[in-house]
Amino acid sequence: MDERTVLVINGPNLNLLGEREPEVYGHATLADLEDGCQVAAAALGLTADCRQSNHEGALIDWVQEGRRGIAGIVLNAGGYTHTSVALRDAVSACRVLVVEVHISDIHAREPFRHHSYLTDVTAHQVIGRGIDGYAEAITWLAEQR
C-alpha cells in the first residue's frame, strides 16, 4: 500500500450483502460494493484495497496496517461499531483519515444501533446512503489530500 491507496474495510456479515435483509441493505452484493469502490477510487487517481472479515481481530490488524502512509481508510465495522472498544482504540491510533460508513441509517434503526464507538475518532461519517456511501467516502478522502 502507498499514499494512493484507500483501504476499504468491511466488518461482520457484510459478506452477506444482497442476501441478508435486502429491505435494509439493498440487493447489491459485496462484489458489487467492491467494484464500485474500485471505480470511484480510479476516477480520483487512487486505488481501493477492499477487505472483509467477520473477525474483530482481523479488522484491528488491517486498521493498524493502514494507519500511516496511505490516502485513508473507509471503515464499515458492521455490528462492531456498537460494541468494540478495541477497534475504536485502533482507529484512534491512526495517522491517516478514517471515514465511518454505514449502508443503512443506524440512527433510524433499533436503539442499540444508535451509538457508535467510532464516531468520535473518525474524521467523517457517511450514514444511510446505501453502497453509494462508499464512493462518497472515497471522494471525501480524495478532497482532503
Catalytic residue list: 25, 102
132 is in an annotated binding site: no
Q: What strand order describes the sheet that includes 72-76?
A: 47-52, 5-10, 72-76, 98-102, 124-127
Beta bridge mates, 101: 126
Parallel, antiparallel or unpaired: strands 5-10 and 47-52: parallel
Is 15 labelled a binding residue?
Answer: no
92 belongs to an annotated ligand binding site: no
- 55 annotated to a ligand binding site: no
13 is in an annotated binding site: no
Three-state SS at 72 = strand
Where residue 22 falls (left for φ over 0; alpha for ψ -120 to 50; beta otherwise) is alpha
104 marked as part of a ligand binding site: yes
Q: Which residue has the cell 477487505?
A: 51
Is the distance from CB of 48 to CB of 38 less than 8 angstroms?
yes
Binding site, annotated residues: 76, 82, 89, 103-104, 113
Binding site, annotated residues for substrate: 76, 82, 89, 103-104, 113
